[in-house]
Amino acid sequence: MDTTLTFNDAMARLSETLYTAAKVHVNTRRTGRLVAPQLHADASADVAFELKLDARGEVSSHVEKYCAGYTLRCTAWIESEDPMLRISGSIQSSDGGGIELQNVRPNQPVRFELPTSLWHSTRFTVQLKVPPAQAAGKSLRVKMRVSY
């Protein structure tokens, strides 16, 4: 997985993958339209991105992307060489779901769902915080396996 992408770029790539999968679903159903929200394709994708921490040890980022009504079943972890690092915050979708994080350790997998809309773009928000003393000039490398 490439970890040099921004959150926006990583979600744009995922959005393109989901839109392509939805078009294939439509073509195989031969209905000419998407028939139901919460599509399920029995597929997965890897998403990786970096988030730069500010001097307070915080990062907040959001992006709006069209994801064709898929519910994203995510397993995510933050890579770090610092075993003492603790991460708190949240990952949310404007269409529901997400997770609140409290003192998550590096490389500890967390599982959550992010529903998306068939009818409009979905806003994805990531807000994370680490203790300021551990934040100086750091970026968090986030990796996710997304099933849809």
Can you give the pTM of this predicted structure?
A: 0.82
Q: Tell me if 123 sits within 8 A of 132, measured CB to CB.
A: no
Residue 139 in domain? yes
Residue 119 in domain? yes
* CATH at 32: 2.60.120
Q: How confident is the model over 96-119, as pLDDT tens digits?
A: 999 999 999 999 999 999 999 989
Residue 2 in domain? no
The domain of 125 spans: 7-147
Total number of domains constituting the chain: 1
Across the chain, what does the average pLDDT equal? 86
Residue 1 in domain? no
Handedness of CA 15, 21, 25, 30 (dihedral sign): positive
pLDDT, position 122: 96
pLDDT, position 38: 53
Q: How confident is the model over 2-58, as pLDDT tens digits?
A: 557 999 999 999 998 888 887 776 665 555 444 444 555 678 899 999 999 998 999
Residue 89 in domain? yes
